[in-house]
Amino acid sequence: MSHPGDPPPELDRREMMTLLGAGLSLAGLGGCMQTPAEGILPRTDQSPEARPGMPVEYATSLVLDGFATGVVCKALDGRPIKIEGNPDHPASLGATSAWQQAAILGLYEPARAGRARARHGLPSVGSLRQILAGRRGLARLWFLSHPDGSPTVARLMERIRERHPSARFVFESPVGRRAVYQGAELCTGRALEAQHRFDLADVWVSLDADFAAAGPGSVRWARDFARRRRLASPTGDPGRLYVAEPRPTATGILADERAAMRAVDVGPAAVALLGAIVRRGRRPPGLDAALADQLARVASPPLHARWVEAAARDLAARPGRGLILAGERQPAWVHAIVHLIGAALGHHGTTATLTAPSLIDPLGLTLADLVTAARAGEVRTLVILDANPVYTAPADLDVAGALARVPETIHLAELEDETSAACGWFLPRAHPLESWGDARALDGTESLIQPLIRPLHGGVTGPELLAAFAGIAAASGRELVRAGQAGPAWSDDLRRGFRPGTASPAVAAPIAPSAALARAIGQAVETARSAGARATALELALAPSEAVHDGRLAHIGWLQELPQPVTKLTWGNAALMSPRTAARLGVATDDLVRLRLAGREIEAPALVQPGTADDSVSIALGYGRGAGGGVGRGIGASGFRLWTTRTGAFAPGLTVESTGEQRPLARTQEVFDEGGREIALAAALARYRADPDFTAEHRGPLPTLLPDLTTGQPQWAMTIDTMICSGCSACVVACQAENNIPLVGRQGVLDHRQMHWLRIDTYQGGSAAAPAFVHQPMLCQHCEKAPCEYVCPTYATSHSPDGLNEMTYNRCIGTRFCSNNCPYKVRRFNWFDYTEDAPALVQLGRNPNVTVRGRGVMEKCTYCVQRIRAAEIEARMEHRAIRPGEVVTACQQACPTGAIQFGALHHEGTEMVAWRRQDRAYAVLHELGTRPRTMYLARITNPAGEGE
Amino acid sequence: VASLYPSWSNAVYRLAIAGLALGAVGAVVGPMVYVRTPYNTSQLVAWDQPVEFDHRHHVRDDGIECLYCHSSAETAPTAGVPTTAVCMGCHLQVWSDSPLLEPVRRSYFSGQPIRWRRVHNLPDFVYFHHGVHVQRGVPCERCHGDVGRMARVVQVAPLTMGWCLDCHRSPETRIAGGTLPGSMWGATVDMVAERPEGQAAVSSLTTCSACHR
């Protein structure tokens, strides 16, 4: 297939001139044709909601690994085009993550399966229903699904168990929260979820938990954290964030005290932390004295002693005002230690309220149980709902082999993937935006899922398939969810998107001494003691990708091209290692290396990333997809091939060798230092307090010869606080969805032709061993004296009286002078027609209020001018002035931390205005006199002082 | 030389040079004139529509106001062709068996939309909002002409950017009340000029991004 960016086929000079001449004269003729009449197809019925060209919004939920986030989806003329957070939903508070933004593209995925397929028999849910009708007591019936908390699914499970008493249900996800619940079970005897309140803490400790960008509550967590964290003045207290992790993540970059630590060392550090806290006289209540003494004697690991001691000191100094959490991939005993620390310091009930988990059967059967049963011939019928175990299961389980032993296998999935190929039946699943359903948020709130469009390719939902087994004849998804509810409560809940007051109640769960807990602490102490001996073993650490999760989002091009927060890597994954480790192994970035662990191997390009722990190699999961990967098929290497039941998500004993080959990585940023200039300002809190005006020379008026082009009100502007920006990149995808930004593919990124209007620049300061990063979201700065404007020969870029730097595409002739004259490098050029050949289905998802650009045209951030003008029109029609907060840009709306604020300069009292008057405000490249309308706030860190 | 070039050859060359000069000017001016011709702007083209709908009868005989059928013109970006249900609201009662209304009935009972032909067609890179113009007192006739006298609707205005800007640069003189025959809106200069404090003047909407986004 030819691709934009390929060199043209061979042409000789004469042929070329002939074609040029012919093209020119034909192009001239084109102007003489009268445009043929378009059709107008009005609706036939009169619906009060449907007005042509007016958006309609519905509250629904998106679910990942069983946890719902409330969203509001906007549909225009019947087509869903944009997803925003649901401000009332406790897991969203109005913000979204990158993958939620990308769900729109998933809906219009051309590779989505259209047809049911069966090895034998009739392929449809209807025929399945007929087969199952009247049958009871099916033996050896198993179901496999992602973790789920849906009340509807729970009800259907009951019905299925009544009808088929031997039915078994397995809920499994590659990196699920099983270890979290097991940890709580060790301490209290029952599975518990800690509901974290980041806004109520002064000290946060993250042990390998990327809470700001990953995990089931990250959107809410990030917002709570940022609200507590943001500094309004030098006298404020930003709290202190401690992070221990093997590779820099969004959370690690926010940290004040970051320890680059191998994943295997995180557990020993947790034990040492608990030991240091016990030594400070704070013992977990209910824990017997002998165990506490055993813990108190654990010394801090020498490499991270300062970090552990500082964290213990801060936590112990603020009982009830601390918060600690461990990553999902850490083993149960680490979570038990975290639970004990929380108990010792009075976190439970304040910053970590304990509730029952919102998932069904959180510590139930595992995939390994299913595989064992299948091997033993104890599974006759297996129904797989939306999971892809052939790709995601540990390599030593051989799920494909086990599936071959099962006589009847039914797979329900959006795309026909690796698992479908191993199953007898395949049924297309409806996309969440086409489905009725429900789910529970992390805090237990029952959230409703309602469709915005009829299934584009047919397809059924998980509950509809389960209903066939439950013997519920021809039930629609809506009836299953409604379950007899009617009247105003149901319609109110539906309008709201969730059922208020359904959050899980807090439970009192004192520590219950048990043999298992004693054993776990013994094991923990032993691991901590022997940690020194294994200090130099090279480890492999696997984690879901920040972009494509565990591979189930690999078909979404926006996420493949999303620069990963720190590495800026697109279209693939890499073996991340620290500079020192890379030097020891003799490899450099782009070298293809062979990774071997426990007799299994994969090949992946190396990426030398400062901030990675020495002797740790990180690989993002979710790449190297086979069938069902869509555009992500065959891209990158699959980390699951190194994951075994014994080694888990991380394990020492990795060997790395160079293959001698090179595989260039497509990164959107390759230089991370500021080249001696001050671009992204940062300071420690002490320096900021001593010199609050340290950004003074980066703001204020500068003389100019250029005329003032702006008049009247409103004057639009933006302020971005880099202190709370985690780099999670939700804004980047939101911008792409709102503004019809095309994809350029891996080769396009390698040629530096990416089209993102909003990028997140990351600058690295500090030392190579302990780098400090600053994220700086960079978009058109809407300079008052814009250098791009006065070099445009066609007046295609101009200044509006309300302070916008406008881009008029149909005037642009593509000289690219503007881009060359832009000091911020925010203008993007359409080198090819990236949009013309897009499948018709993908075109349905475009925002009709933004022009789709063709080849040879420059484009850039417009401050979401379509939203500004829509709000202005609304105000004009109501004969009033525009109100504060009425215009929200796509990036601002998506941002989980609220780091981006937009508004009009005359609206005093808005955060946007208040922030830019703060002393740490600055303009990027202020000395050039461009007077950017976008201002930034310098990043302030609060490192622990010695002996503070 | 005289035998090679007879005396009239001078005239031929002068004419040729003048022709070239004129041609060069014409190559530039010609297309500029052409794009402004009614032929290019599709003005005054009376398309055959799937239903023989006559505005003269509905507007003049029955006295139905524009907004009765084109109701979204008041609030939405597009004026909208009325839904089949609006047609049938009356025509279930009157002329309910007229053969002229067969396509309307077919659409109403089958749920399949009627495929009308678009008369006023703006390029896709222009974002025009009907609602704001109607709300600010621009009479329908100012742009659409006297539709009540049209058998088949034709586009009266050129709908070029220059034509838009003519109004936006001096709305006071262009949209004065009573300048158009039979204006059912009676729009006045005051209605257009009236605006709350702090809101930009109408003329500020000559900025590019007002229409191009």
- pLDDT, one tens digit per residue, over A83-98 is 999 999 999 999 999 9
Could you say which of A46, A804, A882 has the minimum Cβ distance to residue B83? A46
CB contact under 8 A, A41 and B85: no
What does the pLDDT read at residue B180?
36
The whole-angstrom distance between B166's CA and the closest CA on chain A is 19
Helix ranges (H only) for A781-894 are: 817-821, 840-843, 865-877, 890-894
| CB within 8 Å of A165: residues ≥ 6 apart | A137
Average pLDDT over residues A46-67: 87
In A89-148, the residues whose Cβ lies within 8 Å of chain B are none
Could you say which of A40, A51, A809 has the minimum Cβ distance to residue B76? A51
DSSP A483: T
Confidence of residue B178 (pLDDT cuts 50, 70, 90): very low
Q: What residues in B contact A713, CB-CB < 8 Å?
A: 198-200
Q: What residues in A contact B48, CB-CB < 8 Å?
A: none
Over residues A124-172, the pLDDT tens digits come to 667 777 777 777 778 899 999 999 999 999 999 999 999 999 999 999 9
Q: What are the tokens at A515? A: 């043999």
What does the pLDDT read at residue A66?
92
> What is residue A944's three-state secondary structure?
coil
Q: Hey, of B209, B211, B212, which one would you mutate to test binding to chain A, going by the most A CBs within 10 A of its CB? A: B209
Higher pLDDT, B89 or A19: B89
In A845-874, the residues whose Cβ lies within 8 Å of chain B are 849-851, 862, 865-866, 869, 873
Question: What's the mean pLDDT when you consider all of chain B?
Answer: 82
The whole-angstrom distance between B39's CA and the closest CA on chain A is 7
What does the pLDDT read at residue A25?
67
The whole-angstrom distance between A793's CA and the closest CA on chain B is 16
What does the pLDDT read at residue A123?
59
Helix ranges (H only) for A102-150 are: 103-107, 125-132
CB contact under 8 A, A876 and B135: yes
What does the pLDDT read at residue A586?
93
CB contact under 8 A, A877 and B75: yes
Over residues A701-749, the pLDDT tens digits come to 899 888 888 888 789 999 999 999 999 999 999 999 999 999 999 999 9
Over residues A752-773, the pLDDT tens digits come to 999 999 999 999 988 777 889 9
What does the pLDDT read at residue B177?
45
Q: What are the tokens at A201? A: 């803490």
Over residues B85-137, the pLDDT tens digits come to 999 999 999 998 899 999 999 999 998 999 999 888 888 899 999 988 888 77
CB contact under 8 A, A41 and B114: yes
Higher pLDDT, A393 or B177: A393
Residue with tokens 């993937």: A417
Residue with tokens 């070329």: A16
Q: What are the tokens at A413? A: 């999935």
The whole-angstrom distance between B197's CA and the closest CA on chain A is 7
CA A619 vs CA A558, A710, A880: distances in Å:
20, 50, 55
Could you check whether the bond before residue A285 is cis, i.e. omega within 30 degrees of 0? Answer: no
Confidence of residue A121 (pLDDT cuts 50, 70, 90): low
Q: Is the pLDDT of residue A886 over 90?
A: yes
What does the pLDDT read at residue A14?
80
CB contact under 8 A, B125 and A804: no
Confidence of residue B179 (pLDDT cuts 50, 70, 90): very low
What ipTM goes with this model? 0.85
Q: What residues in A contact B35, CB-CB < 8 Å?
A: 31
* CA atoms of A938 and B1, how far apart (whole Å): 85
One-letter amino acid at B202 equals V
Could you say which of A53, A806, A810 has the minimum Cβ distance to residue B77? A53
Q: C-alpha A806: how far from its chain's center?
A: 31
Q: What residues in A contact B85, CB-CB < 8 Å?
A: 43-46
What does the pLDDT read at residue A29?
57
C-alpha neighbours within 13 Å on the C-beta side of residue A225: 33
Q: Is the pLDDT of residue A533 over 70?
A: no
Q: What residues in B contact A869, CB-CB < 8 Å?
A: 127, 209-210, 213
Length of chain A as a residue count: 948
For residue A192, give the nearest of A381, A318, A355, A417 by alpha carbon.
A355
Report the percentage of chain A scoring pLDDT > 90.
68
Over residues A435-445, the pLDDT tens digits come to 999 999 999 99
Q: Is the pLDDT of residue A809 over 70?
A: yes
Q: C-alpha A161: how far from its chain's center?
A: 36
The whole-angstrom distance between A46's CA and the closest CA on chain B is 6
The whole-angstrom distance between A101's CA and the closest CA on chain B is 22
Contact with chain B for residue A53, Cβ under 8 A: yes
DSSP A22: H
Identify the bridge partners of residue A881 per DSSP, sorted by sequence position. none
For residue A345, give the nearest of A325, A321, A311 by alpha carbon.
A321
* CA atoms of A331 and A590, how far apart (whole Å): 32
Over residues A218-250, the pLDDT tens digits come to 999 999 999 999 999 999 999 999 999 999 999
Q: Which residue of A has its CA nearest to B212?
A: A808
Confidence of residue A808 (pLDDT cuts 50, 70, 90): very high
Q: Is the pLDDT of residue A335 over 50?
A: yes
Contact with chain B for residue A30, Cβ under 8 A: no
CB atoms within 10 A of CB A19: 11
Q: Which residue of A has its CA nearest to B82?
A: A42
CB contact under 8 A, B199 and A875: yes
Q: What are the tokens at A411? A: 């797979």
Buried/exposed code over A100-116 (b: 16+ C-beta within 10 A; e: otherwise):
bbbbbbbbbbebbbeeb
Report the percentage of chain A scoring pLDDT > 70.
95
Q: What residues in A contact B31, CB-CB < 8 Å?
A: 31
The whole-angstrom distance between B129's CA and the closest CA on chain A is 8
Could you say which of A32, A42, A808 has the minimum Cβ distance to residue B212? A808
CA A85 vs CA A88, A497, A721: distances in Å:
9, 11, 21
Q: Is the pLDDT of residue B16 over 80?
A: yes
Contact with chain B for residue A25, Cβ under 8 A: no
Q: Is the pLDDT of residue A44 over 60?
A: yes
Higher pLDDT, A488 or B190: A488
User: Where would I find the beta strands (DSSP E) of A636-769?
Assistant: 650-652, 655-662, 682-684, 716-721, 759-766
* CA atoms of A763 and A761, how far apart (whole Å): 7
CA A218 vs CA A62, A68, A324, A499, A758: distances in Å:
14, 12, 15, 21, 22
CB contact under 8 A, B127 and A849: yes
Contact in structure between A86 and A92 (CB atoms under 8 Å): yes
The whole-angstrom distance between B59's CA and the closest CA on chain A is 21
Confidence of residue B184 (pLDDT cuts 50, 70, 90): very low
* CA atoms of A604 and A619, how far apart (whole Å): 9
State phi, psi for B207 to the nearest 5 degrees: -70, 150
Q: Hey, of A38, A44, A846, which one would you mutate to test binding to chain B, going by the most B CBs within 10 A of its CB? A: A44
One-letter amino acid at B213 equals R
Q: What residues in B contact A38, CB-CB < 8 Å?
A: 117-118, 121
* CA atoms of A93 and A197, how far apart (whole Å): 14
CA A520 vs CA A294, A529, A702, A808, B165: distances in Å:
12, 14, 65, 65, 78
CB contact under 8 A, B76 and A713: no
Q: What residues in A contact B126, CB-CB < 8 Å?
A: none
Q: What residues in A contact B209, CB-CB < 8 Å?
A: 800, 804, 806, 808, 862, 865, 869
Identify the bridge partners of residue A765 per DSSP, sorted by sequence position. A772
Over residues A656-689, the pLDDT tens digits come to 999 999 999 999 999 998 888 899 999 999 999 9
Confidence of residue A835 (pLDDT cuts 50, 70, 90): confident
DSSP A254: H
CB contact under 8 A, B116 and A40: yes
Confidence of residue A10 (pLDDT cuts 50, 70, 90): low
For residue A834, give the nearest of A757, A753, A778 by alpha carbon.
A753
